[in-house]
A and B are shown apart, each in its own frame.
Chain A
Amino acid sequence: MITVTVDGRDVEVAEGTTVLEAAKKLGINIPTLCHDDRLKPYGACRLCVVEIAGMRKPVTSCTTPATDNMIVKTQSERLYRLRRTAVELLLSDHPNDCMTCIGTGDCRLQELAYQYGIRENRFAGEMRDHHRIDKNPFVVRQQNKCVMCGLCVRVCEEVQGVGAIGFAERGFEAKVIPPFGKDLDCEFCGQCVSVCPTGALSGAIWAGKARMEGVEKTDTTCTYCGCGCNLTLSSNGDQVIRVTSDANNHNRGWLCVKGRFGFDFINSPERLTRPMIRREKGGTLERVSWDEALDFVAERFTKIKKESGADAIGGLCSARCTNEENYIFQKMMRAAIGTNNIDHCARY
C-alpha cells in the first residue's frame, strides 16, 4: 500500500491505483468525460487534469498512477481554466440543441456546461457538418454531437471484442465511423449507446418518447437467456420506453441486443388481452369472461381426472416464468390434480 495526499488529505491505496481512483476513494470528484472505470484509461478529454508536486505541467489523473507520498491538487485557478477551456472548446463544435435532444438530462457535456457556466463561447467558429443518417434499426448516430471521447470505440473493442467502429480522418475532421463510413453493421449490443456521454448515440426506439417527465424506473431481471442480466425499465404510463442497466450490477451494465433493444413486444398490439375458449373441437376460440374461462378449465380437468385418473393430465411449466409461478403450478398439478406429469421445455 502507498499513501497519497489529495487536496491535503491522506489516503492509502494499492500500488497501481490511478490518481483519479485515489481521489475518488476520498470522495473527491474530479470531472471526466472520456473515463469509464470498466475500460482502460484513455486521457483524451483532459478534464481530469490535476497538479502534482514536482511535476512541471498538469497531468491527467485518469492515466497517472499514484506513487508513494505523492501530493496532488485537484482544484486551482490554473486547473479551472484548463477544464473550462476544454468544455468551451467542445461546446464550440456542438449543436447545442438541448431543447429537443434525446440526451438532455442524461448528458455529461450539458452538465459540465452548466457547472462551468458557459453561455457565450469565445471560440465560436466552424462546426462539423455530418449529414449521413445511419439506416440500422437500433442505434441513432448524431455525429455532430460526438465529443470524440472514444468510449464507444473502446467499449466495442475492449469489452465486446467486435471493433465495429473506429476513428477516421485527422484534425478537426476526425470522427468515429464504421468501416468506410457505411451503415453500422454489428451485433447491436448497444454498449456504445450506454457509454456515450452525450446524445451522439441513442436507441432508435427511444426517440420522441418521454425523456424525464412522467418517467418511472424499475429495476428487474432480463427475460431472455440465462445470463440473468439486471435491467432498469423506464416506463411512461403503461409503455416501456427504454431499457438500461446500471454499471454496478453483476453484468456491469453490459447487455445484448435483445436485452437492450428487444422490449417493444411488451406493448405489442398482438398481446392477448382476453380469455378465450373453444367450446367444442373444431369450433372457434371465443372471448369469454375470466370466471367462465377459469370454471371451464377447472371443470374439464376435474372431469378427465374423474374419468381417466389424474395421470391422464399433464402440465408444462415454463422456463420463462417466475419461480413463484412455477412453484404454484407444480404444486397445483401435484396437490390439486394429483399427478407428477410436470415438465418444462428446457430439454428443447
Chain B
Amino acid sequence: MSNEIVVNVCMGTGGIAAGGSQVMEAFISELEAAGVENATVKEKCRLHKVGCRGFCARDVLVDITINGNVSTYQYIQADMVPKLVKEHVVGGKPVSDWLVGEDYHTFHDNQTKIVLADLGKIDPESIDEYLAVDGYKAAQKVLDTMSPADVIQTIKDSGLRGRGGGGFPTGVKWSFCAANDSDQYYIICNADEGDPGAFMDRSIIEGNPHAVIEGMIIGAYAIGASVGYIYIRAEYPLAVDRLNMALKQAKEKGYLGENLFGSGFNLQIKVKLGAGAFVCGEETALIASIEGERGMPRAKPPFPANKGLWGKPTIINNVETFANIPQILNKGADWFASIGSEKSKGTKVIALTGKIRNTGLIEIPMGMPLKDIIFNVGGGIEGDKLFKAVQTGGPSGGCIPQQHIDLPVDYEGLASVGSMMGSGGMVVLDETDCMVNISKFFLEFTQAESCGKCVPCRLGTKRLLEILTRIVDGEGREGDIELLQELAEDVRDSSLCGLGMSAPNPVLSTIKYFRHEYEAHIKQKKCPSKVCNKLLTFFIREDMCIGCGMCARACSVKAISGQVKQPHKIDNSVCIKCGACFDACKFSAVLKE
C-alpha cells in the first residue's frame, strides 16, 4: 500500500454541498488524462470518496496520500483540481498554499475517535472497505462464539449509555427487553435526528453505515429480534441512499437475512422514513409512527423494552449507540470503560456550532472540560469576542454560563447545572447574544414541534413563548420572571414526554444564570446585548455617514431622510425598529442603543 497514491474526497452532505461532486468529477477526468501519460498514476492512483471527518466548515476537504504521507487540502473547488493533479499527484509536490493549517490538526488531535474513527477514511459505499478495517468481525465473533447473555454482559460491563439523550445504560435496557417472554422482539435504530444544528447521526450513517448495521445485528442477537427498523428522517437523502446500499451489500454477503454468518440466526432490517416531526425522535412517538399512526408519544410504562412496536418487546437505540457496539466487542468492555469519566464511559460525538471558530463534528472522551472543547478543539470564540454561554442538548437543553466553564462534559456534569447531554448539540454564544432572545428562539422551536397531545406542553410552551415574546418586545410586566419560572416548572414536571419535560430548560437555565438580562428587558426596557430591536433606538452618526442613501432605500417606512452626500437622519417617531438600515449601512454609521 505504501507506494500507492490515494486521493480522498469528502463526500458527506457537507462536502457535496460545498462542491464535492464537481471536485470528484474533476479528479476523474484529470487523473484519467494524467494516467494516459503517466503509468504510475494509471496503475497506482486510487480515487476515493469518503464520509465526513467533522470539519465541514473547510469543505471540500481532499487528502492526497503518497507513500503514506498524507496532505490535506481545504476549501477545494473543481477548478483547483488540475493544479493538484499536475503538481502533487503527478509531480509529487504538495500545493502548500491550499493545505490545511495548524488549527486543522489541533481540531483533530484533541479528539478521541471511536465512532468517527473511520469516517473520512473509508468509502461508505463499499462494504469491502469496511471489512478491511475489521468490519463485521465483531458480529461474526458474537454469532459464532457468544451467547446473548454474554453479549449483554459485555455491553453492561463497558458502561455504554444511550447516546440519544437519556443516557440510560444500554446493556441494562437490553437485559430488560430480553427478559420478556415473547414470540417476537424488535430492534429499532433511531436516526430521526431532529435538533436544529445537529448532524451527528447523519454524518455517521453517511460516513460509515455498516458500523450502525453491525451494531444492530449484535443488539438483535442479544435480545432475540428477527426484525429491525431504521427510522430515519426523509430529509437525509444521502444517508438514506447509503444506508440502503449498505443493507443490500450486507444482505448479499449473508450478514443480513436468513442464517447470518451461517449461525442459524435471522435478521431483516427495514428502513422507515420519518416525515419530519421532531417529536418522532421520542421513542414511543417513533413507534407510533412506524405503526402508521400519527407520531404522538404514549405514556410510559409500559416501556418499549416490555411493550413496544406492535405491543412486542422492543429496543430502540440511537445511531451513535449502535456505532459504538462493534468496537466494544472487538476491543473489549475494559478498553471502552477505560475511556471517559466515572459514570459516563466512552466518547461523545458533538456537533459544535454557533460563535465558535472551528464549527464541525467532534468526538471527545466523556468528561472533557467544557473549556477544552471550546478553546482547544473549537479554537475559541469567533472574532475574539467574549464567551458568554453554551447551549447543550439541543433546543430543550440548557444554557451553561462562563462560571461553569470547567464543567466536565458528561451526563452527570451537564445535568448538575440544569442542562443535558441530549443528542450532543453544542451552540456557543458570545457577548453579542441576548439570552432572553435565545430562550425565545428555542421555545419557538419546541412549541412548533409539540405534538399537541398533553396540555402543559401544547399550551404551556405557547404561553411561555408569549411571555418571552412580550419581554423582548419591551412589553414585559412586573412579575413576568416569576410567572415564567412557575409555568416552566409546571410544564417540566407534568408533561407527558421528554419534549415537554425539557422544553422549559432554556427558560429556567437562562433565568438562573442571566436573570439580570431579563430584569433589564422588563424594568429598564433595555436589551444589554443590543439584540432585541424593539428595545433599541436607531440613530446615524453624522461623522460616519457619507450620505450614500443605502439606509433610506432599505427603510420600508421612510423614516430616514437626508440629501445625497449629506449625513442622514432617522425619525424615531416613524421608525419601527426593524434594523434594516443597520444591516444596509456599509460604513457602520447606523448605531443602535
Spell out A's residues near B (CB within 8 Å). Answer: 41-46, 49, 57-58, 60, 62-65, 78, 81-82, 85-86, 89-90, 92-93, 122-123, 125-126, 147-148, 150, 166-167, 169-175
Contacts and interface: CB of A to CB of B under 8 A. Distances in A.
A63 to B, nearest CB: 3
A152 to B, nearest CB: 14
Given A49-B494, A172-B447, A148 B456 contact: no
Interface of B: 277, 279, 294, 296, 298-299, 301, 447-456, 458-463, 466, 483, 486-487, 490, 493-496
A172 B503 CA distance: 14
Interface of A is mostly: loop
Nearest to A86: B455
Contact of A44 (B461, B463, B496): B496
Nearest to A47: B455
A62 B279 CA distance: 22
Given A60-B299, A126-B466, A44 B294 contact: no
Closest 10 CB pairs between A and B? A174-B452, A63-B299, A43-B299, A89-B459, A123-B463, A85-B490, A125-B466, A171-B450, A172-B462, A46-B494
Contact of B454 (A41, A46, A57, A64): A46
Contacts of A63: 299, 301
Contacts of B451: 167, 170, 174
A171 B299 contact: no
A163 B449 CA distance: 24
A46 B456 contact: yes
Given A44-B496, A60-B496, A89-B463, 16 more contacts: A42-B299, A43-B298, A45-B455, A62-B299, A64-B299, A82-B493, A86-B456, A89-B455, A89-B459, A123-B487, A148-B453, A150-B453, A171-B447, A171-B462, A172-B459, A175-B452
Interface of B is mostly: helix
A123 B296 CA distance: 25
Contacts of B447: 171-172
A252 B529 CA distance: 62
Nearest to A89: B459
B458 A172 contact: yes
Contacts of B495: 46
Given A89-B463, A171-B449, A44 B454 contact: yes
A63 B459 CA distance: 21
A81 B279 CA distance: 27
Nearest to B302: A65
30 contacts: A44-B455, A44-B496, A46-B454, A46-B456, A58-B494, A60-B496, A82-B494, A85-B456, A89-B455, A89-B459, A89-B463, A92-B463, A93-B459, A122-B483, A123-B459, A123-B487, A125-B463, A125-B466, A126-B462, A147-B455, A148-B452, A148-B455, A169-B452, A170-B277, A170-B448, A170-B452, A171-B447, A171-B458, A171-B462, A174-B452
A65 B455 contact: no
A316 B309 CA distance: 58
Contact of A58 (B277, B458, B493): B493
A68 to B, nearest CB: 15
Contacts of A148: 452-453, 455, 458
Nearest to B445: A171
Contacts of B494: 46, 49, 58, 82, 85-86
A89 B496 contact: no
A93 B277 CA distance: 24
A85 B451 CA distance: 19
A57 B491 CA distance: 12
Given A46-B495, A85-B487, A126-B466, A174 B458 contact: yes
Contact of B496 (A46, A78, A82, A169): A46
Contact of B490 (A45, A81, A170): A81
Contacts of B462: 93, 125-126, 171-172
A90 B448 CA distance: 18
Contacts of A81: 490
B371 to A, nearest CB: 31
Contacts of A126: 462, 466
Nearest to A148: B452
A125 B301 CA distance: 34
B25 to A, nearest CB: 41
Contacts of A49: 494
Most buried by B among A42, A92, A167, A172: A172
A82 B277 CA distance: 27
A85 B461 CA distance: 12
B458 to A, nearest CB: 6
B483 to A, nearest CB: 6
A89 B460 contact: yes
